């Protein structure tokens, strides 16, 4: 049997890759003869940039950025060669002649996951850190920004 394991994150508990790995571990133990394919998913929020960057064979970069309360933090973004994307995705993203695509998620620097529940007040937070990530996406001439839902 061939099985596709495709999870999004379990908010505040597991990332999509960790959830897929755990499912593979359990299924493989119970059915060692099964072929198991993993496909972590993301809706644009946490995990979006790292999952897409890994799937496209890109490179991951971690840089200093401001968190939602303006405190120092670090956040990551991916750099991807657009030719590694499926043709339909390149067309859909209208990448034209872009040679390096930055893959960024707002959640990396501006996301609620970095705040305690009591601190999640939109009147007291901002997204400057996301702007910083866009600004430092070295060498990219196109940006794919995941905003979550």
pLDDT in tens, 3-16: 999 999 898 789 99
Tell me the two tokens of residue 104: 């960024």
Within this chain, do residues 65 and 31 fall inside the same structural domain, yes or no? no
Residue range 129-142: mean pLDDT, rounded: 88
Q: Give the structural domain span for 9.
A: 1-41
Q: How many domains does the chain have?
A: 2
pLDDT in tens, 17-47: 999 999 999 999 999 999 999 999 988 888 8
Within this chain, do residues 51 and 64 fall inside the same structural domain, yes or no? yes
Query: Is the pLDDT assigned to residue 113 strictly greater than 80?
Result: no
d(C-alpha 66, C-alpha 87), whole Å: 35
Within this chain, do residues 58 and 113 fall inside the same structural domain, yes or no? yes
What pLDDT, on a 0 to 100 scale, did the predictor assign at position 76? 93
What pLDDT, on a 0 to 100 scale, did the predictor assign at position 117? 85
Contact 67, 42 (CB under 8 A): no
CA-closest candidate to residue 139, choices 59, 51, 45, 50: 59
Query: Is the pLDDT assigned to residue 127 strictly greater than 80?
Result: yes
Within this chain, do residues 142 and 76 fall inside the same structural domain, yes or no? yes
What pLDDT, on a 0 to 100 scale, did the predictor assign at position 122? 85
Within this chain, do residues 90 and 49 fall inside the same structural domain, yes or no? yes
Within this chain, do residues 137 and 73 fall inside the same structural domain, yes or no? yes
d(C-alpha 29, C-alpha 46), whole Å: 29
Within this chain, do residues 72 and 28 fall inside the same structural domain, yes or no? no
Within this chain, do residues 100 and 112 fall inside the same structural domain, yes or no? yes
What pLDDT, on a 0 to 100 scale, did the predictor assign at position 80? 95
Within this chain, do residues 18 and 57 fall inside the same structural domain, yes or no? no
What pLDDT, on a 0 to 100 scale, did the predictor assign at position 108? 87
Within this chain, do residues 88 and 29 fall inside the same structural domain, yes or no? no
CATH number at residue 135: 3.90.1510.10
Within this chain, do residues 32 and 47 fall inside the same structural domain, yes or no? no
Residue range 81-105: mean pLDDT, rounded: 91
Within this chain, do residues 96 and 28 fall inside the same structural domain, yes or no? no
DSSP state letters, 18-67: HHHHHHHHHHHHH-TT-EEEE----SSSTTHHHHHHHHTT-EEEEEEEE-
Query: Is the pLDDT assigned to residue 62 strictly greater than 80?
Result: yes
């Amino acid at each position: 049997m061939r099985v596709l394991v495709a999870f999004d994150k379990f908010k505040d508990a597991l990332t999509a890759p960790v959830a897929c790995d755990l499912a593979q571990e359990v299924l493989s133990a119970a059915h060692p003869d099964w072929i198991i394919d993993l496909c972590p998913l993301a809706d644009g929020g946490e995990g979006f940039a790292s999952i897409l960057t890994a799937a496209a064979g890109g490179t991951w970069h971690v840089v200093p950025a401001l968190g939602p309360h303006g405190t120092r933090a670090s956040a990551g973004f991916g750099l991807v060669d657009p030719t590694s994307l499926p043709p339909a995705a390149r067309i859909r993203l209208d990448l034209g002649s872009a040679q390096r695509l930055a893959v960024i998620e707002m959640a990396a620097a501006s996301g609620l996951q970095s705040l305690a529940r009591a601190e999640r007040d939109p009147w007291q937070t901002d997204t400057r850190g996301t702007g910083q990530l866009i600004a430092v996406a070295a060498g990219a001439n196109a940006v794919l920004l995941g905003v979550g839902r």
